[in-house]
Structure 1
């Protein structure tokens, strides 16, 4: 049986990185878009795992691109990066709130750096609805590594088959399936709502 929902953040509850934000980051770095994004993603996982700070990450990006960013540029890049990931899907927030209000346990699993995690904590009160919030910068585990899903199971105190994992990326879905979670590949709020509706009844809390 599955009765608990584990949500991804970006691409599910929050929007993917905005095109305007992407353009601004490339312009601020003053390099070609192809070189910028190859470097941005190649160095991102240690940042998401909390192994480096925002300033350290952007210095690494600069070095890989053969340039330098001063302290003012670093601060602006960090702020622009946060802003580019800050839009949310109001319909999905409503679904999160509805699911929590039904008595069903919910949790959140996201690859996210510390500065962005702090932004969400400061600006989005709906995070309080989650029984467990697994931000990769705090757990040290990133999807699709199996330990990221195992961390959630252990912290929730549940076997994998008790959890429905909702994510928009196939590789992350495969990671969850590999440890025995039920999964839903996110394509929109209506389909996610239906998948949650089809779960086993909410267990009575004693």
Structure 2
């Protein structure tokens, strides 16, 4: 898959694969699974059992991610489903807890992202995420600001797997779809990326991810990034 060499901003030559950019989902790719202790805390704040919160949390999540609901409206709807009304202060606490819920990082993937940045490889985020979540995560993790382009679904009023959201990511990265690798934990989202013309990998865990990168001929990106970090 190696084609020629390119000089990066770091001043060294690196082989160029058939990819010019890597596009990441956030949840369960850059993040670890949700934190169970914080989930328990959110259930306590909501006045619900964890099982009941599980049901209503996902009931309204698509509308939140699509920008139909703000973070405050999302949690207000969650409360209303249980006959509760939350104060502005409690809504703020629940939004902050939601950020912390998904704030544990998938360290091997985040380290690879940082290496890609150092190597001068274009990167992006394409994530289904509501307004308070994206704001909170961007405030918490300064490395999010180093991506060349980020697409948070709420800002576009659309969600994966809508083809238009992949078009927005490709346009923002300034890279042809065929030269973008998209990584997501949900097969329906990677299938939509492939249909749009991108390369894609379903993320399960870091070991299987690196094995698939090698088998697909993209292993040079792993090695290039490592060499660029030195």
TM-score scaled to structure 2, two decimals? 0.78
1:110 has 2:127 as partner:
yes
* Partner residue in 2 for 1:131: 148
1:69-84 mapped onto 2 (5 Å cutoff): 69-84=86-101
1:26-41 mapped onto 2 (5 Å cutoff): 26-41=43-58
Q: Is the 8 A contact 2:96 2:136 kept in 1?
A: no
Gapped regions of structure 2 (runs ≥ 5): 1-17, 225-230
1:94-119 deviations in Å (ceiling 9; x for gaps): 10011222222111111122212122
* Higher RCO, 1 vs 2 (CA within 8 Å, ≥6 residues apart): 1
Gapped regions of structure 1 (runs ≥ 5): none
Q: Distance in 2 between matches of 1:99 and 1:23?
A: 36
TM-score scaled to structure 1, two decimals? 0.86
Task: Give the Å deviation of 1:7.
Answer: 0.8
Q: Based on CA coordinates, which of the two structures has the bigger radius of gyration?
A: 2
Q: Is the 8 A contact 2:39 2:50 kept in 1?
A: no
Instruction: Give the counterpart of 1:62 among 79, 98, 101.
Output: 79
The 1:138/1:58 distance shift into structure 2, 3 A limit, reads same
Matched residue pairs, number? 201
Q: Distance in 1 between matches of 2:142 and 2:95?
A: 22
Alpha-carbon RMSD across the aligned residues, in angstroms, is 2.2
1:183 has 2:205 as partner:
no
The 1:190/1:128 distance shift into structure 2, 3 A limit, reads farther
1:1-206 mapped onto 2 (5 Å cutoff): 1-193=18-210, 195=213, 196-198=218-220
Q: Which deviates further from its counterpart, 175-184 or 64-73?
A: 64-73
Please state whether the residue corresponding to 1:13 is helix, strand or coil.
Answer: coil
